[in-house]
Chain A
Amino acid sequence: MASLKDIQRKIKSVKNTQKTTRAMKLVSSAKLKRTEELARKSKVYAAKLTELLSEIASKMANANCDGIDLPYFKNAENPKTVDIVFVTADKGLCGGFNSQTIKRVNLLLKEHKEAGIESRLVAVGRKGVDYFRFNGVELEKSVIGLSAAPDFEKAAALISEVAKNYLDGKTDKIILVHNGYVNMITQEVRQNQILPVDYSNLELNSVSTSELAIEPDDNNELLEALVKKYIEYTMYYALIDSLAAEHSARMQAMDAATTNAKEMVKSLSVKYNKARQEAITTELIEIISGMESMK
């Protein structure tokens, strides 16, 4: 039986934890609002860019039978090397947010291993870096500090480097994995093939079927610029999406923690009151029996 003082101390400590978790929840919800706004805005841009790219690509593929001879679109029959770029948070305390992404990456690694494909990992975010370092998995590249503050320039630089490997033939495929934001209470692991650009899967709402005039006349120049922008922006958007999801996950985790702490305080208070009553009863019995013996 814990002493009264012990219980009191424990209640105090739980209450302190509760204060911290509540504050973290508030901070996260404020940050979430901002990030969500950012994500909402960039989503339009990302969608338009994808739409434009897929429309041009499919039209050009239809126009000349030999398809597009840009390396960005060449689908390797048997990919030998695959780069996996994945985004995790720099900080923990956000429930299963990071582990879900890591789980997916592990699954991919396993699949690739079974298929005899070499996988190389590019980690963004401290949690992912730490996890794979701890498990002795070699990382091709690791970036820390980018997932907490998405920056277009940095994101573009990172993905361009990965894309350069692709163009040089060092890797045959680039996959981007991140945990994305669905709504305040749901996150979803998203997996995107960045390169080669898989335009057959891109949604096409073929509004106009008419001939498309392209300027400058060199199709490849425009398409190349567009693809570059597309992958850079996809990377950037993944970072924003991931950040929004991180905040929502943390908000949820901290909300749950606050509720749990509240319940704990409640049960500890009951325990404390019981112990106190017990002590009083014991004291009373002692006094009464003492008085009885005096008679």
Chain B
Amino acid sequence: MNLLNLLIGFLKVGLFAFGGGYAAVPLIRDVVMSYGWLDPDMLTNMIAVSESTPGPIMINLATYVGSTQGNIIGALIATLAVILPSFIIILIIVKLEKKLLKNRYIQAALSGVKPCVIGIIGATGAYMILQHIFTAFPGGTVDATAAAVTAALAMIYFGSRKVTKRGIPPILLIGTAALAGVLVYGVQ
């Protein structure tokens, strides 16, 4: 039953993750939380691991969630499920020589979907930040240490773009954050 849920859950992710990369995070959060597959902290850890290992983030997350729920079979099912919608849609588009995408009704619907995706991604990022700088959210008090580290990381990340054109890459931010974690919370 869990394998069937993995299949359905990740087909949904693959079918609705417009924009690639982090666009899949809100969808994966929805699916993973609704089935109770991972706790929010573990999901956040895995997003960082996915960013720090090669390959598309969506595939990394699908493989990980699948593996925790159904070992190698689960990992295979979740990974194939997340790939399948894209694979089929691209084949259809190549066959129809893009006529489908030029269809004005599809364009009109996409003109609503695309900005919505951006809002959803932004809200997910903002919510994750809020969740981590409060002891409980909503309702808790501010965790001063976490808030200070978050502010420092944001300053380093966005500030670096004033120094060099591209700024520091995400993987370096994750490395810096790991170091900050060890320094602030201790080695022991």
Whether both chains belong to one complex is answered with no
